[in-house]
Amino acid sequence: MVMKKGFKAIINVRGKEQAFAKSSGTVPGLISILRDNGIGLSQVIRFEEFSIVEEGVRGRTARKY
């Protein structure tokens, strides 16, 4: 079992905080995903770090929980 770090963006949607649906392994990668989806950095309230548990490979693909 491997622990990785991921980053998610909390954005302002009509005055309320909402987590952006996509995440990335780095903050610059997350910023580029936000720009590709038409969300400016002025809408971002903060970036949050979270842990991703990634299990070793069983068969063809790695399982994620």
* pLDDT at residue 13 tops 80: yes
Greater confidence (59 vs 13) lies with 13
Look at residue 10 in the predicted model and tell me its pLDDT: 95
Q: Mean pLDDT, the chain, as a whole number?
A: 87
Q: Say if pTM beats, i.e. exceeds, 0.75.
A: no
pLDDT, tens digit, 9 for 90 and up, residues 40-60: 999 999 999 999 887 766 667
Classified as helix, coil or strand, 63 is strand
List beta partners, residue 23: 8
